Homo-oligomer: A and B are copies of this chain.
Amino acid sequence: MALDRAATLRADPAWVTRRVSDPASRAVFASRDGVLVGEHPGQRTLVRRSLADLPAAGAALAGPILLGLERDQALFAVDLGALPRASLTALTRGAEVIALRAAAALLARSEAGLAAYLGALLNWHRTNRFCPNCGTATRVAEAGYSRRCPSCGAVHFPRTDPVVIMLVESDGRLLLGRHAGWPPPRYSVLAGYVAPGETLEEAVIREVREESGIDVRDPRYVASQPWPFPSSLMLGFEASSEGGEPTAGDGELEDVRWVTLEAVRAAARGQSAELELPNRVSIARMLIERHLSAQRA
């Protein structure tokens, strides 16, 4: 993402005020439903408009929300729900609101990163307008990095929930499961939130046991991916197992089973009627493709 988050500058209220009235400052837009993207095939990017043309932009969330500096121009996040109808009509001409998941697949990589950041940050401000410590309405602080409670003084930051996601292999087979809500025949690797007080490696072992009854050993970190639906950070692992009969344990999964590499390979090529793998932009798919490549090599 080609954005400088301006961690130091944003703490200076005078600098932020100047950026708000600076004609060079730009805004990008999101609503509860997604981010605002240009409609024309040649410009599948977030719609950018001069912030100065949007006088009421900061009002609804109690303060302006700065994403950062893009080529030295301030870039603000504006909630479409906070705009007067006339601005909204003008803005959405030749543009459409696209769900964050769809935007991740549609936009170029750095623009998709910006869209995810925009969507996640506005969503956090929208759903965190009150102090969890004392119940008072909070206000934007540090140009959107945090919210501050005028009553008890508590400062609240956006949360990022760590999630472990793990490819488990045993003797040429992968452990895959499916949620009841998924379109059949979609299966994926297992995943779950890290619980308070545990390491990532402990979380991998616990989650696989809870979701499948299978014991794994030696979890190895592979890569991470932010997944802003709404605010997860996926931490990808590989782990090995002696095998055993998996059983969907904790009510999260509808089915969990060992799948041969041959069957996974056919699904990866789109040549399987029995198995569909997760979307190519997901870290789940990346873990699977990486394992297949390593086995071929």
The interface of chain A, by Cβ under 8 A from chain B, is 1, 5, 7-8, 113, 116-117, 120-121, 124, 127-137, 154, 156-162, 193-201, 206, 210, 221, 223-226, 228, 231, 233, 235, 249-251
Q: List 25 A-B contacts (CB under 8 A).
A: A1-B198, A5-B206, A7-B210, A7-B250, A8-B250, A113-B197, A116-B197, A117-B196, A120-B197, A127-B133, A128-B132, A129-B133, A129-B135, A130-B131, A130-B134, A132-B156, A135-B135, A135-B136, A135-B137, A157-B193, A160-B162, A197-B226, A200-B224, A201-B223, A221-B221
Complex partner residue of A196 from B121, B137, B195, CB under 8 angstroms: B121
> Chain A at the B interface: mostly helix, strand, loop or mixed?
loop
Q: Whole-angstrom distance between the alpha carbons of A221 and B117 in the complex?
A: 24
**Copies of this subunit:** 2
5 closest residue pairs by CB, A with B: A117-B197, A130-B135, A221-B221, A200-B224, A128-B132
Q: Whole-angstrom distance between the alpha carbons of A160 and B199 in the complex?
A: 11
CB of A133 within 8 A of CB of B130, answer: yes
In whole Å, how far is A89's beta carbon from the nearest beta carbon of chain B?
29
